[in-house]
Structure 1
Amino acid sequence: MNDSFRNADNAAGTSPAGRFVEVEGVRLHYVEQGAGQPVVFLHGGILSSGDYAAVLELAAPGFRAIAFDRPGYGRSERPSGRTVTPADQARLLRGALRKIGAEQPILVGHSWSGALVLAYALAYPADVSGLVLLAPGAYGGEAYPAGKADYAIARAVRVPFLGRLLFALLFRPLGRLAMKPMLRATFAPDPVPPGYAESAKALWLRFGQFRANREDVAAFEPAVDALCSRYGEIRLPAAVVIGDSDPFHPDLQARRLHREIPDAEWIELPGTGHMLPLTRPDAVVDAVRRIAARVSARTLPANP
């Protein structure tokens, strides 16, 4: 393995599941079920591909359903020594999909991964069939709640030796205290699923994943500031899916994005919050089916 990349931490002593693919010297972990049209599911900023476990079960009868651990999360490695932007993650994902033969996928991105999916669609429009954006993050400024403390933590954990020391002595203990209220706020008004808090402690409070998350927070706003003027260029079938009780600025994020993507449909789920892959897997798969039908209609030959 190239010494310029750091290994992902072992997750909670569990055995690796799924498969690995190496791109640019980085091992990425993914799980897949089913066969047919590839659909690629990308998790948000907390855990891993496991967020989509129920979605994959529901999608597998009709699709080749693939969920990746994003770089630095779950069992995936992350490039080290530089900022890893949504565009970088899109490039790694494209290389991975080519290696595993998942061509012309429908891309599904939740929360932070909204920016990743948008970056991919703008960089490689011919390589994508359609988009499903779940409570997506797509804009910075007042729409993005990260503050100066988030950026300071991101800088601190990247300092050699000091970053690990601060994590062990300060950030990890504080994270343990903040975990339950943070999860309640993230899932609200939906309940936190049984066992999810334990998984969050096992994964999110590892140094490698914590640092990846902090780096992603710091990289998000510059990335979307550079992308957002181009969202109108996206000409793919798309769906923007939102819970009507999402606490994370859907009026400044999802609604605005829906207006700017020409071929996007709006799907609003009543009585639902932010964590759609876990709380509404049925609605996620429904949205995928809707986009797949639109993709098929586009590719059908015209009647003579």
Structure 2
Amino acid sequence: MSTVPAVPAAAPAPGATGMRSVTTADGASLAVRTDGPEDAAVTLVLAHGWTLDAGAWERHAQELAAEGRIRVVRYDQRGHGGSTDGSARPWSIDLLGEDLARVIEETAPSGPLVLGGHSMGGMTVMALAAARPGLFAERVAGVLLTSTSAGQLDPRGRKGAPLRLRALGHLESAFFGYCSRTAERSERIRTRLPGPEGRVNPFLVKRYLYGPKAAREAVLAGARMIHACPMTAVADWFPALMLHDKAGALGALRGVPVQIVVGTLDRLTPVAHSRRLLEELPDAQLEIEPGCGHMLLLERPEAVIGPLRRLCAGALAH
């Protein structure tokens, strides 16, 4: 199934009603795009995953905003796309939760909200829920969590993890640590490697992030975003993902309609992670998409648009 290719962060998306910059407390400039009427009854705020950008939500935003009753806000997470790094270090998922709070304060200071997050974006929503339960009690009318996890992503410290996975965890940590320490050199090396317009890069991206039947257009959309992501963001967000742990801290989501969507072939946040979310949020709805990988929102966008539409409809009905 095809998807709309990513739109460069520096240019407005087709049909976008506006672009703006939101500045965080530590000076990061977040590139924000809005679609749909400014006076819409509900605002949908979307957070993308690691190494992607707001273009990952392009088709979702365009379809939902076209209905005329929903305003969609999507932004590049710090260090990604058109957003800068800021001075805060080390980076953490909690910091991303603060960024999301800032985006909401600046772009949707009042009215009902629906929040959606893919992968690291879903973790961002969880971090916000743990830090700002009052916001969820007062304004958040729905949450979508797709291809994401509440924690236990680092196999090195996980009880019962196979030796092979623990060894892989040590290798990954060493690799991204090296890339972080030598970001400029690593960036130069990457520019010499095959890019998304070749054959090797899309093959590897599809193998590890998509299902076997994913359309080439969908694979290329993800491959281009990943290739464009600065090496600093690639390397420095990895330890934050491994340290992410919000299990037992999601009480603010129990009073909110939650939709969880995951692909059966997700290698990064397997179905077991979504099932653990369901154990903590027993009233949530879990949808498992057969044959899809981690890039579910690009591979089968309608599987994500549907739950978002239902959550927004519920918000509009109240």
Same fold (TM over 0.5): yes
Rounded Cα–Cα distance in structure 1 between residues aligned with 2:221 and 2:286: 34
Rounded Cα–Cα distance in structure 1 between residues aligned with 2:91 and 2:205: 25
Q: Secondary structure at the match of 1:64?
A: strand
Query: Does structure 1 retain, via aligned residues, the 8 Å contact 2:93–2:123?
Result: yes
**Superposition pairs for residues 10-21 of structure 1, below 5 Å?**
15-17=10-12, 18-21=19-22
Query: Does structure 2 retain, via aligned residues, the 8 Å contact 1:16–1:75?
Result: no
Alignment-derived partner of residue 187 in structure 2: 167
- How far residue 220 of structure 1 moved from its aligned partner, in angstroms, is 1.3
Identity, % of aligned positions: 25
Alignment-derived partner of residue 108 in structure 2: 101
Alignment-derived partner of residue 121 in structure 1: 129
- How far residue 90 of structure 1 moved from its aligned partner, in angstroms, is 1.0
- 1:123-145 deviation per Cα after TM superposition (whole angstroms, max 9, x unaligned): 11232412100111322244897
Q: 1:74 aligns with which of 65, 81, 106?
A: 81
Query: Does structure 1 retain, via aligned residues, the 8 Å contact 2:43–2:108?
Result: no
**Superposition pairs for residues 27-176 of structure 1, below 5 Å?**
27-35=29-37, 36=40, 37-60=42-65, 61=67, 62-80=69-87, 82-103=89-110, 104-128=112-136, 129=140, 130-140=142-152, 141-142=154-155, 147-159=169-181, 162-169=182-189, 171-173=190-192, 176=195
- How far residue 284 of structure 1 moved from its aligned partner, in angstroms, is 1.6
- How far residue 198 of structure 1 moved from its aligned partner, in angstroms, is 7.1
Q: Which amino acid aligns with 2:202?
A: K
Q: Which amino acid aligns with 1:250?
A: P
Alignment-derived partner of residue 15 in structure 2: none
Aligned pair count? 281
- How far residue 282 of structure 1 moved from its aligned partner, in angstroms, is 2.2
- 1:82-117 deviation per Cα after TM superposition (whole angstroms, max 9, x unaligned): 111111011012112211235442111112222111
Alignment-derived partner of residue 273 in structure 1: 293
- How far residue 267 of structure 1 moved from its aligned partner, in angstroms, is 1.8
Q: Which amino acid aligns with 2:283?
A: D
Query: Does structure 2 retain, via aligned residues, the 8 Å contact 1:151–1:214?
Result: no
- How far residue 23 of structure 1 moved from its aligned partner, in angstroms, is 2.1
Query: Does structure 2 retain, via aligned residues, the 8 Å contact 1:188–1:247?
Result: no
Alignment root-mean-square deviation, CA: 3.0
- How far residue 283 of structure 1 moved from its aligned partner, in angstroms, is 2.5
Flag the 1:296–1:100 CA change in 2: closer, same or farther, 3 A: closer
Alignment-derived partner of residue 275 in structure 2: 255
Flag the 1:181–1:138 CA change in 2: closer, same or farther, 3 A: farther
Alignment-derived partner of residue 3 in structure 2: none
Query: Does structure 2 retain, via aligned residues, the 8 Å contact 1:58–1:282?
Result: no
Q: Which amino acid aligns with 2:51?
A: I
TM-score by length of 2: 0.77
Structure 2 residue runs without a partner (length 5+): 1-5, 13-18
Q: Which amino acid aligns with 1:156?
A: Y
Q: Which amino acid aligns with 1:46?
A: T
Rounded Cα–Cα distance in structure 2 between residues aligned with 1:14 and 1:248: 25
Q: Which amino acid aligns with 1:188?
A: G
- How far residue 80 of structure 1 moved from its aligned partner, in angstroms, is 4.0
- How far residue 14 of structure 1 moved from its aligned partner, in angstroms, is 7.8
TM-score by length of 1: 0.80
Alignment-derived partner of residue 220 in structure 2: 197
Alignment-derived partner of residue 205 in structure 2: 183
Rounded Cα–Cα distance in structure 1 between residues aligned with 2:203 and 2:87: 31
**Superposition pairs for residues 226-237 of structure 1, below 5 Å?**
227-232=246-251, 234-235=253-254, 236-237=256-257
Q: Which amino acid aligns with 1:32?
A: T
- 1:159-197 deviation per Cα after TM superposition (whole angstroms, max 9, x unaligned): 3xx43124323x554574963233112111342542853
Q: Secondary structure at the match of 2:82?
A: coil
Rounded Cα–Cα distance in structure 1 between residues aligned with 2:291 and 2:51: 22
- 1:68-92 deviation per Cα after TM superposition (whole angstroms, max 9, x unaligned): 1111111111124611111101101
- 1:14-40 deviation per Cα after TM superposition (whole angstroms, max 9, x unaligned): 843333222222111122211321111
Flag the 1:183–1:153 CA change in 2: closer, same or farther, 3 A: same
Q: Secondary structure at the match of 1:228?
A: coil
